[in-house]
Amino acid sequence: MAKNDPYAALKFKEFNIFLFMRFLLVFGWSMQFIVIEWEVYSLTKDPLALGIIGLMEIIPAFTMALFAGHIVDRSEKRNLLAICIALFSFISLGLFCLTWDVVVANWSTKTILYGIYTLVFFGGFLRSFFGPTIFSLIALIVPKKAYPNAATWSTSTWKAATVLGALCGGFFIHWIGVDKTLCIIFVLVVLALIFTFRIKKKPILNTNKEESVKESLAVGVKFVFSNKAILGALTLDMIAVLFGGTVALLSVFAQDILEVGSQGFGVLNASISLGSIVSMFLTTYIPVAKNAGKKLLASIFIFGLCIIVFGLSSSFWLSVVALFLSGAADGISMVIRQTILQLKTPDEMRGRVSSVNSMFVGSSNELGAFESGLAAKLLGPARAVIFGGTMTLLTVVGLGFKNKVLRELDLTEDYEFDEN
């Protein structure tokens, strides 16, 4: 296999099936998030209600993360992923029912709202299994020398699905309504489930049955906290995402500040993911291994600057550009982080390490949504976004000076070793 081959992972049939399955799933998931955010704000006109959506998802996702990683490491990955997708399809079906005209006409707004929060809560429970399972499955589909390229394509596919899901979510709300959009999402999730079974069952690498659950969890956490490269990258991204999140407030900006309606809402959401996917596809040709630590710090610093510009902007197109550039910077940071995890995590610990990653980064998305909603309630939406961007900049500067290991991190040797 040629060194730095941008299509290395795509030479494996099962990986292509995996990418298509993940695209369908994330496309539907992204649309669902956008639609629910829009519906909840339309019902309440309260930005704090948007924050509660994040809180409802983070509680189960965070509390179950470590145990989910333990289960993933001890389970067959293909079947576990299929179970998760099947259960997620029921959540999508339930959200459709809660927004169906027949239900809306006969149920109170409060009942519908609580029903949505309940389903989001169960979605958070499933999410604690999705991340570790997908992360572990990739390593069983492609050989180790293709890990960096597979990580880039997997993350790029996720972002491609996110950008189209965000764009279609906003447009579909306008064209066919909330309930019919959620029905489409249900169909997409079922299709993802069907394609999952085209991937063969994989061996279980962690067969240490004598190790207790407590010992298993402790080993995973200890590994992450003893590896300064992984810990530094996760800490930086967690704090940046926590304070730099704007997605939870985009419906407020679209409806009340920029006044661009549901179509503009879809464009604002899509611009973030479009920037990410463009930058991630570029990294398949321009490897980020050399001086990875400096590139990670620089990308998140640029991300924070763009968030501040968005908060200050009263122009729709300036806001779109700022979000696009923030997505591009975020995309680079995600590729670097995923490459670090894939190269430095032992195969038998991938579930647990990915679970710790989800606690650091994945859960901070929802906690960030709650922080954004609360800050918007106290400071106003624009000031809340500017505050978040400023905190991101301060975090990057502080951690960059303090963490020498992260600042000088270079993955060139790890990458070249795995290519041999």
Extents of the domains making up the chain = 11-201+209-419
How far apart are the two ends of the chain, measured CA to CA in Å?
Answer: 9
Q: What count of other Cβ atoms lies within 10 Å of the Cβ of residue 213?
A: 12
What pLDDT does 207 receive? 57
What pLDDT does 66 receive? 75
Tell me whether residue 195 is exposed, middle or buried, using C-beta atoms within 10 angstroms of its C-beta: 0 to 12, 13 to 18, 19 or more: middle
Mind listing the pLDDT tens digit for each residue in 136-180?
Answer: 888 889 887 777 778 778 877 887 787 788 778 878 887 888 889
Give this prediction's pTM: 0.71
Q: What is the 3-state secondary structure (H, E, C) of 80-120?
A: HHHHHHHHHHHHHHHHHHHHCHHHHHHCCHHHHHHHHHHHH
Lowest pLDDT segment from 83-87, 106-110, 213-217, 252-256: 213-217
How would residue 94 be classed by pLDDT, with cut points 50, 70 and 90? very high
Tokens of 383: 């000031």
Lowest pLDDT segment from 55-59, 109-113, 300-304: 55-59
Q: Reply yes or no on whether the pLDDT at 193 is more than 90.
A: yes
Of the candidates 224, 70, 78, the one whose C-alpha atom is nearest the C-alpha of residue 138 is 78
Could you give the C-alpha distances from 299 to 63, 110, 119, 162, 341, in angstroms and in order?
A: 30, 42, 35, 20, 18
What pLDDT does 347 receive? 67
What pLDDT does 1 receive? 39
CB within 8 Å of 97: residues ≥ 6 apart:
103
Amino acid identity, residue 38? W
Of the candidates 344, 400, 71, the one whose C-alpha atom is nearest the C-alpha of residue 226 is 344
Give 256 or 303, the one with higher predicted confidence. Answer: 303
What is the Cα–Cα distance from 85 to 63, expressed in whole angstroms?
A: 20
**289-316 burial code (b ≥16 CB/10 A, e <16):** bebbbebbbbbbbbbbbbbbbbbebeeb
Lowest pLDDT segment from 20-29, 126-135, 181-190: 126-135
Q: Reply yes or no on whether the pLDDT at 102 is more than 80.
A: no
What is the residue-averaged pLDDT of the chain? 81
Per mean pLDDT, which of 27-36, 199-208, 225-234, 410-419 is the most reliable? 27-36
| Second-level CATH architecture of 11-201+209-419 | Up-down Bundle (1.20)
How would residue 80 be classed by pLDDT, with cut points 50, 70 and 90? very high
What is the Cα–Cα distance from 246 to 269, expressed in whole angstroms?
A: 10
What pLDDT does 354 receive? 73
